[in-house]
Amino acid sequence: MSTAPVTQNRDGDVKRERLTVEGTVQGVGFRPFVYRLAHELGLTGYVQNTPAGVIIEIEGADTPLAAFKKLLEKRRPPQVRFLKLDNTPLTPEGGQGFVIRPSSEAEDTTALVLPDLVVCRDCLREMNDPSDRRYRYPFINCTNCGPRFSITTALPYDRPNTTMARFEMCDACRREYNNPQDRRYHAQAIACQECGPQLALRNAHGKTTAWRDKALLQAAQAVRDGKILALKGLGGFHLICDARNAEAVAALRIRKLRPAKPFAVMYPSLNAVQADCLVLPEEEQLLASAESPIVLLRKKGPPIVAEGVAPDNPHLGVMLPYTPLHHLLMSGLGFPVVATSGNRADEPICIDEDDAIKTLNGIADVFLVHDRPISGRCDDSIVRVMRGRTTVLRRARGYAPLPVVVEHSFAAPVLAVGGHLKNTVALAVRDRVFISPHIGDLDTLEACAAHRAAADLLSRMYRAPADHIIHDLHPDYRSTHMARRCGRNVIAVQHHYAHALSCMAENGVTPPCLAVTWDGAGWGTDNTVWGGEFLKIDASGFERLLHFLPFPLPGGDAAALDPSRAALGMLYVLDGEDAFGRDMGLSRNDAGLMKTALKRGINCPRTSSAGRIFDAVAALTSICRENGFEGQAAMALEFAADAHATTTYDFKIEKGIIDWRPMLRAILSDIDAGATPGAVSGKFHATLAEMIVAAARFVGERTVLLTGGCFQNALLLDHAADALEESGFTVQMHSQVPPNDGGLALGQVMAMASAS
């Protein structure tokens, strides 16, 4: 047995330690930082990226070694986040110097693929400096910023495992890349005008008409001229037009077949946002954050943007420029632009320029593209501050694919394929659940292909072929079919149970608890459509303790687009055929068909859906009689509500049923007595909160979860959470993952944790 040389000096004994660092440590300048710190303190050893995280072996006297560990935390680069830091003592080896070892390949991995990072100040300064060699270069980046997830093809995050592999570094870039003192030391996406990706402007026929800066300037001119620009950004294409130009906005709506759903707006600066919107301090932080999401803000008087951007909506979805390319474009324009996903109706966002020219043919007038391929499709994220907390409503760029760390260690990888709407997939590896960026509704072949690609990418990145595949209980979801085609160990999880588990997972809630799970629709264990559920969750599963009185939905799924159908179904339960006397704004033909359907029970599936109750009240109060997009009627009802309503409607709770008939009867008489829609809506929201408290008292669990798409409604959430807290309950809601079906995949994998 050999003895390693152990020396002593006035700083104490020489020691060697191995630090294993997990977290956001790859692709953020962590290794160069460790290198510089070790050199500064005269320590020896090495640092190495491995698929399981960064390993540091560090050797030296006690004092500098202790200083190293302290400064590792204290001075770490801005994007570095530690999830775990393990420390093992080793025998000193007495080597010389400190080196960065080449990355190792290994089997299992829970190292993190970083989300794309917003451009940093240093890079912006260089980009705006005419004497800098990257002046006006739209792909400038460094170890602290730039693309990550959207260019990663495998782990570890090194240039050959990114779509930058095809660009050979020029001598100047290579020198920076290899110089440990340079801020681009080992910046994997390093590039410049000489060697990196370049812009090109294409016309609607796909013909290139300009290159580089000229392409950018001409694209900006097209936007000024009222044209629609398709811009290849970070994780996909944006469709861009002058947000102040009502005609351009209207043209985009017509061409995109998107009549009503609000468009997101990119403003040139925070000041410009503040001129149009109320910006609370937490919202300002979000706008300026490294994630740089779309933040839902309240409009302040009539904004500079056209009414058609977010019609009949008190909110505006706002973001700031986040890539160098966006900064160049927006500083040139100086006014807000619509920046909506570059897709056709419900298809996923386009990522490839040749595809985009075909898919967006007839929508965009010009295409500003570049030759850096996108490997990970990633839409903009959407967040809303509710009850002082950030709630992610669409989780994508900036957040995905960072994992949610859960209090269960999966023995083998588990894949969940999500639901049907707002789909995401999730992969659980040990105690990490990696969630794909938002994919969208699985209504089209393109969406299904993107869904498969997202599942493959996660499995490939983390080299974790899943043992078990989890899907929704709905037999006809495309995600269900995909899971069944995939493999042997396929498990179905009830929709609302998955919502509950998702909320529990991100909040670290242990059962028992009560899950108030309200949404549009989810397949129930009794083969009916659920959606207004009170589930008692315990360690082994769930029990449906209470739910809304079911009602028939004439036309089934078609009712999601037509709030009057839900209203008619509820009225039919209340008054039978007398219900048909009330004017619901239906054509005589439609009304006739629905009456027959209801009387004979043809294509009238019964549902307990809370979302459809919102629709019905919106239709009855004439607030909204057409759902141009999912949730439009419910949103309109929320916006119309008199938020300070204190009186409520009656309801009954009996034999596991929340009977809404007394409420509906009273709503009708309020309407007939001339109550304003706002007053009815306010009272309706307050009543729902009262129902939730009554149900919570009936069930008797201290912890109450508020989950499901209905809890994107800030007024409902506020009323319910306030009332529950006043009655002594502990309320849990979503923050990291959406309350809507975008959060299902997380809950689905957690069902495996409860089952084992």
- Residues engaged in binding Fe ion (CB under 5 A): 519, 522, 741
Q: Assign 412 to helix, strand or coil.
A: strand
Task: Work out how close the CB of 34 gets to Fe ion at its nearest, in angstroms, rounded to a whole number.
Answer: 44
**Residue from the set 19, 173, 516, 620 that interacts with Zn ion by CB under 5 A:** 173
Which token pair is 432?
């990490």
Nearer to Fe ion by Cβ, of 522 and 569: the residue is 522
Nearer to Zn ion by Cβ, of 253 and 327: the residue is 327
Q: To 5 degrees, how large is the angle CA 550–CA 555–CA 557?
A: 80
- Stretch of 185-193, 261-269, 595-603, 641-649 lying at the interface with Zn ion (CB under 5 A): 185-193
Q: Per CB under 5 A, does 145 bind Zn ion?
A: yes
Task: Work out how close the CB of 195 gets to Zn ion at its nearest, in angstroms, rounded to a whole number.
Answer: 3
- Cα–Cα dist 615/565, whole Å: 9
Instruction: Show the binding pattern over residues 111-130: x = contacts Zn ion (CB under 5 A), - = does not.
Output: ---------x--x-------
- Stretch of 166-174, 369-377, 422-430, 534-542 lying at the interface with Zn ion (CB under 5 A): 166-174
Nearer to Fe ion by Cβ, of 423 and 736: the residue is 423
- Cα–Cα dist 51/108, whole Å: 7
- Cα–Cα dist 650/658, whole Å: 11
What is the distance in angstroms between the CA of the first residue and the CA of the last residue of the chain?
45
Name the region of 110 (left: φ>0; alpha: ψ -120 to 50; beta: rest).
alpha
Comparing CA positions, the residue from 614, 608, 610 lying closest to residue 637 is 614
DSSP state of 142: B
Nearer to Fe ion by Cβ, of 176 and 519: the residue is 519
Nearer to Zn ion by Cβ, of 212 and 255: the residue is 212
- Cα–Cα dist 201/336, whole Å: 21
Amino acid sitting at position 290: A
Comparing CA positions, the residue from 737, 685, 677 lying closest to residue 714 is 685
Q: Assign 720 to helix, strand or coil.
A: helix
Name the region of 303 (left: φ>0; alpha: ψ -120 to 50; beta: rest).
beta
- Stretch of 54-62, 142-150, 587-595, 671-679 lying at the interface with Zn ion (CB under 5 A): 142-150
Of residues 191-230, which lie at the interface with Zn ion (CB under 5 A)?
192, 194-195
- Stretch of 127-135, 188-196, 430-438, 493-501 lying at the interface with Zn ion (CB under 5 A): 188-196
112 interacts with, out of Zn ion, Fe ion, none, CB within 5 to 8 A per kind: none
Q: Per CB under 5 A, does 142 bind Zn ion?
A: yes
142 interacts with, out of Zn ion, Fe ion, none, CB within 5 to 8 A per kind: Zn ion
Comparing CA positions, the residue from 155, 39, 55 lying closest to residue 101 is 55
CB nearest Fe ion: which residue? 519
Nearer to Zn ion by Cβ, of 26 and 609: the residue is 26
User: If you search the block for the tokens 């009543």, which residue do you land on?
Assistant: 687
Instruction: Show the binding pattern over residues 643-682: x = contacts Zn ion (CB under 5 A), - = does not.
Output: ----------------------------------------
Q: Assign 531 to helix, strand or coil.
A: strand
- Cα–Cα dist 301/310, whole Å: 14
Task: Work out how close the CB of 183 gets to Zn ion at its nearest, in angstroms, rounded to a whole number.
Answer: 8
- Cα–Cα dist 678/641, whole Å: 4
Task: Work out how close the CB of 421 gets to Fe ion at its nearest, in angstroms, rounded to a whole number.
Answer: 7
Nearer to Fe ion by Cβ, of 372 and 395: the residue is 395
Q: Per CB under 5 A, does 170 bind Zn ion?
A: yes
Nearer to Zn ion by Cβ, of 133 and 244: the residue is 133
| Contact assessment for residue 236 and residue 349, using Cβ atoms and an 8 Å cutoff | yes
741 interacts with, out of Zn ion, Fe ion, none, CB within 5 to 8 A per kind: Fe ion
| Interacting residue ranges for Zn ion, rule: CB under 5 A | 120, 123, 142, 144-145, 170, 173, 192, 194-195
